[in-house]
Amino acid sequence: MAVAQPEITLLVPVYNGAKFVAETLQSIRNQTLGNLRVHISVDASRDDSLSICKNAEQLDSRFKVTQTRRRLGWVGNINNLIRSIQTPFFCIIPQDDIIDKVYLERLFSVMKNTENAIAFSDVQEFGEAQRFFSECSLQGDAIKRTIRFLLYHQLALPFRGLIRTSSVTQPISQKRFPGPITDYLWLLEIVKNGCFIQVPELLYRKRRHSSNQIYGWSKSSAFSFAKGMYLYRRMLNQIVSEQEHGAGYRWTLSAAKLCNYLSMLEMVINQRGNRSGTKIVRARSRYQIRSIMQDIPANNQGIKMEVSNQLVSRVIRLLLADGSITQAQHLLDQAEVKIKPEVRKKFRAKILVCQGNYQDAFEVLSEDSAIMWDDETQLLLARICRRTNQLDQASAILKGLSERPDIKEKVFAELSRLQLAMGEAALASKTIEDAYRINPSNRNISRLRSMVNDTRISR
């Protein structure tokens, strides 16, 4: 009986991974889809990684282990592995992550459609954090996929998905960035060549620990961070050029890239706080923001409306984070006819909250019961209800949001504030600890945790 040719190659880059790599390799061996091969590249490690991987190779004939003669680095090692692929599909599994036993089976079933470049699942962090991550599918023509990738994908979840080998036309850039940017730009090249399909199941567990390279970016020097974000914007412009498309898409692409840049910046602010490098990058963004905002087309439809909504939202959030409330109000007035009513109302309420006008903010969000508010706006409404002493309503809103894994840390944080307002200091302390365990790197949660604990001690 002929043995079926492998359809999938799993690539496992390893560097000083002795602590966790055996568990990762075991999760690969447990896959229900057996038609695969596994290439492990040990990148000049100084620990027992090679012997652990060699042991896995002896246990399973599908495994092949190689060792580099010199240190290639994370990107170089993955590119080296990608060059060895001889199967229609491949998947990159970092040395410390764990995949569900049906992970490849579920993703492979989606890839029967030849228009799909990547299939990926939801992701759960474990270890030193317990965040849940989910990103949407990207379908349609290449330009729409690219724009929606810029708008809605900042976490690079498809990087860990099942990738069609023929859709990869570029190696991962060897440029050095202080953060999770190289893999993101690589995905931006791939999304031009096919659809990204989300399998809405929790099939991938990403281990969070102090040695993760991805979290070093929040601690980088101001100069290194500012330079990295400058390089990121430059490469973004190289990969997605407005000149490659018709005039009708030039503003849309330019604005989508700015949305993406501001989203990355907001993510960094949550990690770094308003440190000097962050402030430098935000100051340099101001001119481009003003010029693009002036060109927002009126009476948008479809994807242009999506971009307008996202751009106004991102800029207002940035202004409010800077304390520029008057500028945020002026921008909202200027863009009033160019964004959806629910977006306008949400930010009117946010601005009123920043001004301390909680009752007016409540009236803005309550004046039209037909609007189905998104999760972020419901959280805002819960905060407003707490500040206007409508504690039962705030509690009901938070209870309704408590099962949403992607915003659980924010729900717990607001719930702890509510519990403090109700005089339940001990319960508030427990709740904020739950939020902190989900995302200990969120500076807002860390500050709230200190405040809650101080309040409890003082009582």
pLDDT one-digit tens code per residue, 294-332: 777 776 778 888 998 998 898 888 888 778 899 889 889
Give the CATH superfamily of 368-459.
Answer: Tetratricopeptide repeat domain (1.25.40.10)
- Helices then strands, counting H and E runs in the chain, come out as 18, 9
pLDDT one-digit tens code per residue, 143-186: 999 999 999 998 899 999 999 999 999 888 876 554 557 888 99
DSSP β-ladder status, 195-208 and 116-127: parallel
pLDDT one-digit tens code per residue, 256-272: 998 898 888 777 666 66
- The answer to whether 273 and 265 are in contact (CB under 8 A) is no
DSSP designation for 67: E
Compute CA 139 distance to the chain's CA centroid, rounded to the nearest angstrom: 19
Q: How far apart are CA 404 and CA 406, in angstroms?
A: 6
pLDDT one-digit tens code per residue, 47-103: 999 999 999 999 999 999 999 989 998 899 999 999 999 999 999 999 999 999 999
- The answer to whether 225 and 233 are in contact (CB under 8 A) is no
pLDDT one-digit tens code per residue, 2-16: 446 679 999 999 999
The residue extents of the domains of the chain are 8-214, 220-339, 368-459
Which residue stretches of 111-246 are H helix? 142-152, 182-190, 222-239
pTM of the shown model: 0.91
- Cβ density class 390-425: b for 16+ within 10 Å, e for less: beebbbebbeebeeebebbbbbbbbbbbbbbeeeeb
Compute CA 324 distance to the chain's CA centroid, rounded to the nearest angstrom: 26
pLDDT one-digit tens code per residue, 343-401: 999 999 999 999 999 999 999 998 877 678 899 999 999 999 999 999 999 999 999 99
Class of domain 8-214: alpha beta
Structure-token match 């242009």, residue found: 304
